[in-house]
Amino acid sequence: MATSESDDQRQRGVHESSYSKNESKRIRVLSWNIDGLDSPTAEKRTYKICEIIKTVNPHVVLLQEVVLETFAILCKKCPEYRIIPGDITGYFVAIMLKIEDLEFIGKSIFPYPFSVFGRNLLTVQCRMKGVPFIFMTSHLESMAPFSYLRRIQLEYCFRRMKRKSANYTVIFGGDMNLRDWELSEMGGIPEGIFDVWEMTGSRSNCEFTWDLLLNTNKKCDSYHKPRYRFDRIYLRDSDPKSVSPVYFELVGLEKLRVYEVFPSDHFGLLTHFDIRCC
């Protein structure tokens, strides 16, 4: 249900207060397509993205559209993170893990058969604050003509989430390029997997992550300004449940002052979880 601005500010105030008191039990996960392909502004925007990462202080960052140039900036400006790339050619996904908070266990990379754009799924196993996690990120097939491939890729990711050991909490985030009708045609989200935006109230002011009405980095020739929830975060609980999602917000909502561009053409998704057990 949509909330008014004052209601949202009040909720945000409660969130920030509880956030400061419960840091020992709090897990923050950021997912963001950082648009490394827009080369004229990529370097400047990536420096700003690094500033935002340091400000919101996520334990895990799931990135899409990383290129070697932006990867180098991330490594230089965020030395407190271990950065695991899903590839080192073209543009690729990556996962950043806060070194002091996580024990890295292992990684896996699964290329998608028949992907036109060379997409894959990157998976990382780790332990954080006593809880075993599996984090997954991907950049599913882009553009409307490749809807069929995109749905096959998402079904594959859902299957992998469900097959993971019940000891692990599984969090999958990324640029799904997903239209709501596509998910409906797939039969919706499989049982046991949950959309974190929906779990935290489906707030309308953090619904659209690729939003040409608000974000001017990409131009549209028509009067219609497309707004899509391309980017999503899914949760598969462990058994017994280890975490609960408590808040969902967008980041990267302000332009770089000098260059009049947003940090990316996508807004980032910052999710807050509380540990339920030790």
State pLDDT tens for residues 67-125. Answer: 999 999 999 999 999 999 999 999 999 999 999 999 999 999 999 999 999 999 999 99
Q: Is residue 133 part of a domain?
A: yes
261 touches 217 (CB < 8 A): yes
Closest by CA position to 192, among listed 160, 230, 152: 160
Residue with tokens 């109230």: 201
Within 13 Å, how many C-alpha atoms sit on residue 39's CB side?
Answer: 5
Q: Is residue 7 part of a domain?
A: no
Q: Is residue 244 part of a domain?
A: yes
Report the 10 Å Cβ neighbour count for 33: 27
State the catalytic residue, choosing from 35, 175, 195, 231.
175
Per-residue pLDDT reduced to its tens digit, 121-173: 999 999 999 999 999 999 999 999 999 999 999 999 999 999 999 999 999 99
Write out the residue range of the structural domain in which residue 186 sits. 27-275
Q: How far is CA 8 from CA 14, 31, 65, in A?
A: 10, 22, 31
The alpha carbon of residue 236 and the mean position of all alpha carbons in its chain are separated, in whole angstroms, by 15
Report the 10 Å Cβ neighbour count for 184: 9
Is 35 marked active-site? Answer: no
Confidence tier at 258 by pLDDT (50, 70, 90): confident
Mean pLDDT value across the chain: 92
40 touches 46 (CB < 8 A): no
- Burial grade of 207 (CB within 10 A; 0-12, 13-18, 19 or more): middle
> Strand order of the sheet with strand 26-33?
81-85, 92-98, 60-66, 26-33, 268-275, 243-251
Compute the average pLDDT of residues 258-267. 96
Q: Which residues contact 118 (CB under 8 A, 6 or more apart)?
A: 87, 90, 111
89 touches 82 (CB < 8 A): no
Q: Is residue 14 part of a domain?
A: no
Query: Looking at residue 134, what is its pLDDT?
Result: 98
What is the total count of domains within the chain? Answer: 1
Q: Is residue 13 part of a domain?
A: no
> Strand order of the sheet with strand 194-195?
102-111, 120-128, 131-139, 169-175, 231-236, 194-195
Return the HEC string of 188-208.
CCCCCCEEHHHHCCCCHHHCC
Indicate whether 7 pLDDT > 80: no
pTM attached to this predicted model: 0.92
* Secondary structure (DSSP) of 265-276: SS-EEEEEEEE-
Q: Which SS3 state, helix, strand or coil, does residue 262 take?
A: coil
Q: Is residue 4 part of a domain?
A: no
Q: Is residue 141 part of a domain?
A: yes
Q: Is residue 256 part of a domain?
A: yes
143: left (phi over 0), alpha (psi -120 to 50) or beta: left
196 touches 271 (CB < 8 A): yes
Confidence tier at 239 by pLDDT (50, 70, 90): very high
CATH for 181: 3.60.10.10
